[in-house]
Amino acid sequence: MHIYATILLALLGFTLGAVQAQDVENAYCESYNLLTCNDENKEKCVTQQKCGPKGPETHNHCFTLWELNSVTGDSKVHMKGCFLNNKDCYNKSHCVQKNKDAVNQLFFCCCNGDMCNQNVTYTQMLKKHNEDKIATNDVEKKDLARNEQQFIPAILSVCVLIFIVTITFISWYCRHRKQDYESELSQAEQGIKHCSTTSNSESVHSETNSYKSDCLLPELLEKKALGRFGGAVWKARRDDEIIAVKMFPLVNKQSWQTELEVFQLPHMNHENVLKFIDSLRCGQSLDAEFWLITTYQERGSLCDFLETNTVSWNEMHKIALSIVSGLNHLHSEISSDGGYKPAIAHRDLKSTNVLLSGDMRACIADFGLALIFKADDGVCGNQYDRVGTHRYMAPEVLDGAINFTKESFLAIDMYACSLVLWELASRCVVKKGDTERSYRLPFEKEVGSRPTLADMVKCVSEKKIRPHIPETWREHWGLAAMCETMEECWDQDPEARLSASCVLDRISSLKNE
């Protein structure tokens, strides 16, 4: 299993380096796992796997992992299936391994297109690999033949000694690291319930039954979105109530802690801020996974909704008003008998983090990068300047020139808010006979679907480009007011941007038709 771990870490590195490219969408891949296959069910080992949901700027691929016997030259497939967003997989219609240097005799290839990993091309590569191995072995044999009688016993003794010392050190290190992790987790989990699962939706969760639990997990119904570092958002059921479950793996524990701290602040119960229900821990030690349970929003994210739907002026006004109302609540300090709520900067506001309910009311979600401006303790949260989604970063964030003050971070949110309002306006049909406008993300025409940080710096900071506003939008009195508000919120100068309370007053003053 340590071989698989090495390969998976390598694949994670490739995935984090994904760049903009044209891609063919995958829906199905051939699936196979050597560990779960035996002679009795060999004919049923190879199946067709449906790839899971992807984000708006990511793609699915197919992969194959196989082993080469350096002595016989025989190959054996270990695993096949779906793989998420690897730059080395773009524009490959066939699964071909071109790297002659294998890791632990294991080879990997990936490709685009349904079932493209059905046939793997590696014969020529294997032949070249074997020729290189034979040539190297011939040279080594000639050198070793002259000295093997003298050095083999000494080498074996040194190797055994090194092996014993290495195993001892690794064992000591692992015990201490495990204790450190468990200490950190125990501090972070005060008041968090430890749970076992009753769901069969994911095998990883069925392994958490081996320890004592204080509760039962919700029944997982449908995976709605993929998160960072292997996390996910599920539609679930608990006590006959439909809820949303957001899962955080241990590596993303900091985001879970930040979200939990934001949700647990006083006065966070607002109709335009996602409502928190509960928090759970699943698994133990290094296998721990943290869950946040919130209300379920029937229409999903604003981004997904706008991809397939247009909105009327009344619907746009309602959605825009609720977005700005939620953002104003986050930015506001509230002090009363119920406690003190400090100002909060979201720092990753975008259309995928705005959720819609069945009656078209929006609420703001995902506070993993939020900053809490406590009066006594200062700023609480991740204070790195370049965080968030490249497409929605304000000019000062792209330039790394943020003034670390509350007002500066709130102005960054207002820039992102203007882009979300532009997305909403781009899908608004204000009168009969209007041609339906296709949905595009902000700056998609200028930088494409997967912009890099350098792309956005050149577009937004250097060229000072902003999303295009057609003149036809200004022909409608309501959209004209929205356009003026957007332009004032995406101003290059952060101090010139409107505040959330000012935008809320403007939109509130606009009447429905």
pTM over 0.75: no
For residue 433, the model assigns a pLDDT of 62
The region of weakest confidence among 24-38, 52-66, 375-389 is 375-389
Contact 259, 381 (CB under 8 A): no
The Cβ of residue 81 has, within 10 Å, a number of other Cβ atoms equal to: 17
Mean pLDDT of 79-88: 83
DSSP state letters, 249-260? EGGGHHHHHHHH
CATH number of the domain at 300-376+387-509, out of 1.10.510.10, 3.40.50.720, 2.60.120.10, 1.10.10.410? 1.10.510.10
Contact 363, 299 (CB under 8 A): no
What one-letter code names the amino acid at 351? S
For residue 146, the model assigns a pLDDT of 66
pLDDT digit string (tens) for 133-154?
A: 666 666 666 666 666 666 677 7
pLDDT digit string (tens) for 408-431?
A: 999 999 999 999 999 999 999 987
The region of weakest confidence among 127-136, 230-239, 316-325 is 127-136
Order of strands, edge to edge, in the sheet holding 378-380?
343-345, 371-374, 378-380
Query: Is 348 among the catalytic positions?
Result: yes
- Confidence tier at 164 by pLDDT (50, 70, 90): very high
**pLDDT: is 82 or 181 the higher one?**
82
372 pLDDT more than 70: yes
In 287-336, the DSSP E strands lie at 289-295, 300-301, 334-336
Q: Which of 114, 287, 348, 385 is catalytic?
A: 348
8 pLDDT more than 60: no
- Confidence tier at 350 by pLDDT (50, 70, 90): very high
List where CATH 1.10.510.10 sits in the chain: 300-376+387-509
Cα(16)–Cα(264) distance, rounded to whole angstroms? 32
For residue 382, the model assigns a pLDDT of 53
Q: At what angle do helices 500-509 and 406-426 cross, to 10 degrees?
A: 30
- Confidence tier at 499 by pLDDT (50, 70, 90): very high
List where CATH 3.30.200.20 sits in the chain: 219-295
pLDDT digit string (tens) for 434-443?
A: 666 789 999 9
CATH architecture under which domain 219-295 falls:
2-Layer Sandwich (3.30)
**pLDDT: is 449 or 202 the higher one?**
449
34 pLDDT more than 90: no
What burial class does residue 347 get, using C-beta atoms within 10 Å of its C-beta: 0-12 exposed, 13-18 middle, 19+ buried? buried
- Confidence tier at 122 by pLDDT (50, 70, 90): low
Contact 235, 296 (CB under 8 A): yes
Mean pLDDT of 313-335: 96
pLDDT digit string (tens) for 219-246?
A: 889 988 887 656 789 999 988 899 999 9
502 pLDDT more than 80: yes
**pLDDT: is 204 or 131 the higher one?**
131
**pLDDT: is 494 or 117 the higher one?**
494
**pLDDT: is 257 or 177 the higher one?**
257
Contact 327, 364 (CB under 8 A): yes
480 pLDDT more than 50: yes
For residue 172, the model assigns a pLDDT of 86
- Which 8-state DSSP code applies to residue 46? -
CATH architecture under which domain 28-121 falls:
Ribbon (2.10)
Average pLDDT, the chain: 81
**pLDDT: is 270 or 111 the higher one?**
270
Whole-Å CA distances, 435 to 306, 431, 440, 467: 15, 10, 15, 19
Residue 61's nearest CA partner among 115, 131, 7, 9 is 115
Cα(64)–Cα(47) distance, rounded to whole angstroms? 13
List where CATH 2.10.60.10 sits in the chain: 28-121
For residue 217, the model assigns a pLDDT of 78
389 pLDDT more than 70: yes
Mean pLDDT of 452-479: 94
β partners of residue 95: 120
